[in-house]
Amino acid sequence: AGGEGGGAPVVLRRLIGVPGEAILHDVPAQKISFFPFTTVGADEAVATSGVYYYELTLTDSSSMMAQWGFASTAMEIGIDTQHCDGVGDDAGSWGVDGLRQFKLHDGTDRWEGEWADNDVIGLAVNVDAGMIAASKNGDWAAPGHGVVFADEKIKAGVYPAFSASTGDVPYRMAAPFQHAPPPAELWA
C-alpha cells in the first residue's frame, strides 16, 4: 500500500476543521491551502504492511505551524469546528514539526530537526517494523531526521496525515517524488 508502490489513488480530505472554511484543495496542482489550523489526511488509505512514503513542501515558515506525520484509526476525526489539536497531539497519531522543533505523540518532546522555506520533508512509515522516519531534502541523516518514532501501535496500521495553519502545502502522495524513499538499511 502507499506512496512507494502505487495502487489505488490516495485521496486527501479534511479530517479536523471547519467545513468549507478550513482548506482549499487544488487537486491538479497537488496543493492544500490552510486557513486556520486544520488537519487533513488519507484516512481511507490505511497502510497495514510494508513501507509508505510521501512528501510535503514547506512554503512559508513565517506564519505556519506544521505537524506532519501519520495517524491511526484511533485518532479522532470528523471534528467540524476550529480545533487546536493536530497530528501527534493524541495517542493515535505521530508527527514532527521542524518549525517549532517538536516531536509529537500524545504530548510534545523537543526535537532537533529544523526546517526552512522550500524544504521538502519526506515522511515514511515501515508498518511491519512499527517505525516512522523523516527526511529533509532527501537527507535521512539530517540532524533529528531518520527514524523518529518506534512504537508497536504503528503495526496496527497508519495513514498519511498532516496539520498546518495559514499557508500553502504542496504534496506528493505517489511517484514521481522529488527525493527517494528511505533505504532499507534505515529500518535496521
Q: Rounded to 5 degrees, what are φ and ψ at 106?
A: 55, 40
Beta strands in the chain (DSSP E): 13-16, 23-26, 31-34, 38-41, 51-57, 66-71, 93-97, 102-104, 108-110, 120-126, 131-136, 146-150, 159-164, 167-172
Q: Is 34 helix (H, G, I), strand (E, B) or coil?
A: strand
Greater pLDDT, 153 or 7: 153
Q: What angle do CA 34, 35, 41 make, to 5 degrees?
A: 35
pLDDT tens-place string over residues 120-169: 999 999 999 999 999 999 999 999 999 999 999 999 999 999 999 989 99
Strand partners, 169: 32
Q: Counting every residue, how long is the chain?
A: 188
| pLDDT, the chain, mean | 93
Say yes or no to pLDDT of 1 above 80.
no
Residue with cell 510521501: 54
Distance of CA 100 to CAs 65, 107, 108, Å? 8, 14, 11
Say yes or no to pLDDT of 7 above 60.
no
